[in-house]
Structures are given as C-alpha cells and as structure tokens.
Amino acid sequence: MSNLLQAEIFKLKHNKSFWVLLIISAALSSLMHYLVVSEWWMLTNTPFEAAGIPEMNALSMFILPLFFNLMIGTLAAFYISTEFGSTGVIKNQIISGKHRSLIYFAKYVVYTAAAVILTVIIPVGSGLILKLIISGSIFNGDHLIYLLTSFGLFTLQLAGYTAIITLIAIMTGDSGKTIIFSIALTLIMFVIDQIPMSDLISKLYNYSIFHQFGTVMNPEMTAGDIVTAVSTGVISTVVMLLIGMYVFGKKEIK
C-alpha cells in the first residue's frame, strides 16, 4: 500500500494543475485575508464573527461549496480523469498488477490530502499568519479550539465530498465531464438548500455532508451536533468509497 501511495504522491507532485491551484489558493486567500484584517473589506453575519474572530471572516468564502468545488473538481479532472483513455476505459499502466481496490483507495487518499491542502490548510494558515503579521498577536485558546474543531469537522465532510468527486471522475473518465458534473452537483446542493422540502427529505438532507458543511461552523455546536457531524462524515466517506471501488473494479482495461 505504501508503494501505491508513494506513486500517487509522485504523480501529484508532477501534476501541473495541482501547483497552479496551489498558487491560486495561496494568492487568493492571502489577498482576501489581508483585505479583511486591514479592514479594507468588511464582512458581517459570519460564523467567525459570531465566534469572536472577525479577522477570519474571509474564510466564509472558502467554505462555500461552489468555491471549493472549483478547486477540487478541477484537481480531480486533471489528476484522476486524465488517467483514462478517450473512451473512458482504464489505461493498462494504472493497474500494474495491484488490486483495484487498493489502487482506488490510494488515489482517493492522495487526492483528498491535496484537496485539504488547497481548501483548508492554506486558507486557514494564511489567515493566521496575516493576523500575526498585521496585528502582532494571535487568537486566544478558545478561538484556536473553535478553528480546530470547526475545520476538523469540515475536513471530515470534505472527505465524504472528495469521495463523491472521485467516483464522478472514475465514472466519466473525462476531465471536461468531471468538471461539469462536479459543478452541477454543487448547483443542485444550492437549490436543495434554498427550496422548501417535505419533512422526510428535510430530515435526510440535515444528515448529509452537504448540510453539515455549514452546520459545523456554528460556534455553538452541542455535543450531539458534533457526534452527528462526525457520523455523517465517516459514514458518507465509507459508503462512497465502497461504491467507487465497485465501479472502478468493473471498469474496462485497455
């Protein structure tokens, strides 16, 4: 398994799209945080303001599904989908005698790690660094615990979401289709979140990662809310991974 992970890390390190997205994420997050911390750009009614850290309000943009999907959907398109032939079948060199489930899992792990770097570590890290540079101080313990807890839970939901995007990339086997379907999924999430739903659908949606993306940022989460968020993220990830492994196992080899 370690060899498969090393191979996927090697591919990621030599993937130009990853480095372009990394630069974009770093530059954009630094700019947004600078505008907020220096009070050039005022944001209100954010969960970070409610938590007592309005200096981190720029993170409100990075937790929006439409925004972070542009990053990770594009990465999936040019990191996973490009390993398929023009007809969507698996290129023979992908397999290399290894069990397909392990190959799929290795791709998912490295892809998810890259997604976390782009959408969590860089935005949060740049915000903390700019806060320290501009104001000469860092947040207190309660604020840091809030950031650690909320973005830890956010990362769990993101792991479930990357499992879905990985499945889309495997099913389409095409970079363009991967981007289109991932954006369509984000739009569907937005529509469902805005329109009235029946009680049953509403309850099901509340236990989905799509709803939890916003819920986990609530600074007043209860112990029950945290358990729900953890359970939702873990179950969604496992289920989508099992489906993805099955689909990958049925793919034609060329």
Q: For the chain, which residues make up each domain, given as ranges?
A: 2-250
Give the separation between CA 162 and CA 73, rounded to whole angstroms.
9
What type of residue is 212?
Q
What type of residue is 80?
I
List, in order, residues 6 or more apart from 173 with CB less than 8 Å away: 81, 84, 85, 87, 88, 89, 251
Claim: this prediction has a pTM higher than 0.85? yes
Give residue 151's pLDDT. Answer: 94
Phi, psi of 84 (to 5 degrees): -110, 155
Q: Which residue has the tokens 């740049």?
A: 126
Residue 191, pLDDT > 80, answer no
Give residue 175's pLDDT. Answer: 76
Residue 98, pLDDT > 50, answer yes
Residue 235, pLDDT > 90, answer yes
Give residue 88's pLDDT. Answer: 47
Residue 89, pLDDT > 60, answer no
Phi/psi zone of residue 149: left (φ > 0), alpha (ψ -120 to 50 degrees), beta? alpha
SS3 5: helix
